[in-house]
Amino acid sequence: MTDLQNAKNIVRGFHAALATATPDTVADVLGQVTGADYVWRGMHPFDQQSGAADVARVFWAPLLTSLTRLQRREDIFFAGLNEIDGETSTWVVSMGHLAGLFDAPWLGIPPTGKMVFLRYCEFHRVAGGKIVETALFCDIPHLMIQAGQDPFPPQTAAHLVQPGPIGHDGLLYDANDPATGAATLAAINAMISDLGTWGLGLPLEDELARTWNDDMIWWGPAGIGATYTIERYAKQHSGPFRAGFTERSKTRHLCRMAEGHFGGFFGWPNFTAVATGGFMGLPATGKPGEFRVIDIYRRDGDKLAENWVFIDVLHYLNTQGLDVLGRMKAGLRT
């Protein structure tokens, strides 16, 4: 538990330094807190970067230039040992929104001069007093929609600026009973086991009820949206998603862990599947597509109650031959 608290303090120190960074100083901020062989994984078009200087140049400096007066509005924060590598590595998770004034173009998205919210979630691996690995996913299409550049047909669920957990209790700055986190991880693993079958011979709603509370909320990414209750989740995402793909690979995660009533995972990619048509209103391609995903969960009782989902939709569409950012720059809709 001491190691987890030390890792949390390192990440919180990084966030504090980042809050006062400028485009010119952010490389130094990253350099002070990251290891020499720092690995960073981000959403398309950033993908994988190595070293503090490249991460600052490619992601942070342009973002700080475009979203001025940037502030972190954190909803969930926890740490844990990674189940995937036998609990030999320590990771810290932060999730919420990066809020700022959209004052200059970013990735070709035209500025509004107004306040915007960029959904984010990051996993940091901490070792030797440094951040040595990061996965940082942000919902770029969600920002596009706020800027009047909606690239998608109507979503199956609702487009929202998404709140944190219902109890406002997701900031686990202090230590927690390991048994509580173990129960959360067990609930997540039970859900993954059911999901991996894509069908237990049960009606979909009955299958979901094995691991989800009835009043669950699935906070999905832009292009899909958020949905509430098992019945609506089955109709507005899970059912359409399963109907739109075949040949789903096994789930592959780089990190999976929990603390308290919160837990989550990410993969690079989590899985692949072949599009048979319908997902996000798109036709069948017959091509396997990669799904890079971060999932964060809240457990209530012995089942899952909330799920914040970050899918690298732009990367998936790129694997299907659709360049969303390129079409936006050309004035075309997806």
Task: Give residue-wise pLDDT tens across range 40-80.
Answer: 999 999 999 999 999 999 999 999 999 999 999 999 999 99
293: confidence class by pLDDT, cuts 50, 70, 90: very high
Cα Rg of the chain, angstroms: 19
pLDDT at 197: 58
pLDDT of 215-268, one tens digit each?
A: 999 999 999 999 999 999 999 999 998 889 988 888 889 999 999 999 999 999
Backbone phi, then psi, for 101, in 5-degree steps?
-95, 120
Q: What pLDDT, on a 0 to 100 scale, did the predictor assign at position 44?
A: 96
C-alpha–C-alpha distance, residues 65 and 203, integer Å: 50
pLDDT of residue 195: 78
Instruction: Decide if pLDDT at 7 tops 70.
Output: yes
Q: How confident is the model at residue 152 (pLDDT cuts 50, 70, 90)?
A: confident
- At 330 the pLDDT is 84
Residue 196 has pLDDT above 70, yes or no: no
In this prediction, residue 250 carries a pLDDT of 84
Q: Examine the pLDDT at 19 and tell me if it is beyond 60.
A: yes
Kindly report, residue by residue over 101-138, the tens digit of the pLDDT.
Answer: 999 999 999 999 999 999 999 999 999 999 999 999 99
Distances (CA, A) of 172 to 5, 97, 142, 222: 10, 17, 27, 27
List the beta bridge partners of residue 138.
Answer: 120
Question: What does the alpha-carbon distance between residue 215 and residue 222 come to, in Å, rounded to a whole number?
Answer: 21
Percentage of the chain exceeding pLDDT 70: 98
**Range with the lowest mean pLDDT among 150-159, 161-170, 184-193, 205-214?**
150-159
| Structural domains of the chain ordered from first start | 2-146 (3.10.450.50), 178-329 (3.10.450.50)
Residues in contact with 169: Cβ distance below 8 Å, sequence separation at least 6, in sequence order: 261
Residue 293: closest CA among 248, 334, 228: 248
User: Does 187 have pLDDT greater than 60?
Assistant: yes
Instruction: Compute the residue count for the chain.
Output: 334
pLDDT at 184 over 80: yes
Confidence tier at 88 by pLDDT (50, 70, 90): very high
Q: Is the pLDDT of residue 148 over 90?
A: yes
Share of the chain above pLDDT 90, in %: 81
- Kindly report the number of other CB atoms within 10 A of residue 71's CB atom: 11
